[in-house]
């Protein structure tokens, strides 16, 4: 990937994630993904949109290394990506801090350093005083913050997010949008974000990529030229969202998919 700098010099940097000709099917079934090629630039926030069943979550699993493509290649040059699911998937018998520490323990981090780092990460996601609370004592938004801290504990600069805010109320989701934008910038993260919510995609993304109904193929890309911070109700976000929604609806009609 080539980047033009202000001084007129040109530097070339490798993408944070690269997919080339990726096809995925399970057993003898039909293709879930078909010939997907995509680059995610270092530091980019890329949102994936498409009808249910088009392979968005499957694509994240491939990037996370949880599965392999049937054909094609997936590369994450900086190492394994961290994956955050729609459900927080926290262990209810552990405290918030212990849930974060678990990811650090799996990396071989020592006990004292684990505790210190877990507290740093909880502070980063605005849960400084919640480390001793168990899962049932946390609100939905707080649980997702703990899940985000746990993902950050994996020490990856590539964060994969599979509809992480879908189950939250609108106000909590809006607050977490702001916090995610801040985290992405402060931690220099590359984010690959799956959502069904077009406005959410335009609210967060630098680029929105639309996948066709099954099999999933890249059919359209939209560069979001709206400065951050953005508001989900802003006219600029609404206007681009309508354009993307029209294309998504047309794609669903063409293939008979379900949104």
Q: What is the pLDDT of residue 1?
A: 52
Do residues 93 and 205 both lie within one domain? no
pLDDT at 5 over 70: no
Do residues 64 and 190 both lie within one domain? yes
pLDDT digit string, tens, across residues 177-200 = 999 999 999 999 999 999 999 999
pLDDT at 85 over 60: yes
Do residues 31 and 118 both lie within one domain? no
Angle at 187 between CA 183 and CA 190, to 5 degrees: 85
Q: Please name which of 223, 215, 178 lies closest in space to residue 200, comparing C-alpha atoms.
A: 178
Do residues 57 and 108 both lie within one domain? no
pLDDT at 241 over 60: yes
Do residues 166 and 75 both lie within one domain? yes
Do residues 58 and 165 both lie within one domain? yes
138, 155, 172 - which closes a domain: 155
Residues 6+ apart with CB under 8 A from 57: 162, 194
CB 160 within 8 A of CB 168: no
CB 67 within 8 A of CB 24: yes
Domain span at 31: 2-81+158-255
pLDDT at 8 over 60: no
- What backbone torsions phi and psi does residue 140 show, to the nearest 5 degrees? -60, -45
Do residues 174 and 251 both lie within one domain? yes
155, 177, 211 - which closes a domain: 155
Q: Copy the structure tokens of residue 150.
A: 């746990």
- Taking the CA atoms of the chain, what radius of gyration do you get in angstroms? 19
Query: Domain with 75 in it: what CATH number?
Result: 3.40.50.300
Do residues 94 and 67 both lie within one domain? no
Do residues 165 and 137 both lie within one domain? no
User: How far apart, in whole angstroms, are the C-alpha atoms of residue 82 and residue 79?
Assistant: 10
**What is the number of domains present in the chain?**
2
DSSP conformational letter for 14: -
pLDDT digit string, tens, across residues 28-47 = 889 999 999 999 999 999 99
Do residues 150 and 164 both lie within one domain? no
106, 124, 155 - which closes a domain: 155
Do residues 12 and 112 both lie within one domain? no
Do residues 221 and 115 both lie within one domain? no
Q: What is the pLDDT of residue 11?
A: 44
Q: What is the pLDDT of residue 114?
A: 92
pLDDT digit string, tens, across residues 113-124 = 999 999 999 999
Per-residue pLDDT, averaged over 106-114, amounts to 90
């Amino acid at each position: 990937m080539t980047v033009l700098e202000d001084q007129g010099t040109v530097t070339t940097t490798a993408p944070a994630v690269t997919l080339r000709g990726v096809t995925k099917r399970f057993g003898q079934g039909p293709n879930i993904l078909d010939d997907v090629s995509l680059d995610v630039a270092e530091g980019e926030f890329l949102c994936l949109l498409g009808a249910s069943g088009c392979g968005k979550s499957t694509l994240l699993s491939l990037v996370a290394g949880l599965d392999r493509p049937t054909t094609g290649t997936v590369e994450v040059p900086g190492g394994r990506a961290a994956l955050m699911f729609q459900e927080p998937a926290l262990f209810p018998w552990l405290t918030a801090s212990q849930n974060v520490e678990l990811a650090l323990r799996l990396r071989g981090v020592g006990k004292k350093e684990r505790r210190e780092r877990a507290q740093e990460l909880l502070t980063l996601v605005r849960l400084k005083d919640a480390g001793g609370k168990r899962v049932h004592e946390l609100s939905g938004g707080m649980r997702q913050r703990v899940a985000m801290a746990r993902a950050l504990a994996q020490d990856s600069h590539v964060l994969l997010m599979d509809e992480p805010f879908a189950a939250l109320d609108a106000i909590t989701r809006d607050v977490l949008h702001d916090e995610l934008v801040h985290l992405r910038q402060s931690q220099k993260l590359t984010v690959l974000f799956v959502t069904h919510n077009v406005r959410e995609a335009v609210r967060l993304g630098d680029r929105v990529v639309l996948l066709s109904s099954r099999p999933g193929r890249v059919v359209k890309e939209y560069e979001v030229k709206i400065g951050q911070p953005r508001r989900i109700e802003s006219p600029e976000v609404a206007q681009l969202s309508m354009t993307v929604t029209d294309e998504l609806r047309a794609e669903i009609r063409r293939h008979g998919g379900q949104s």
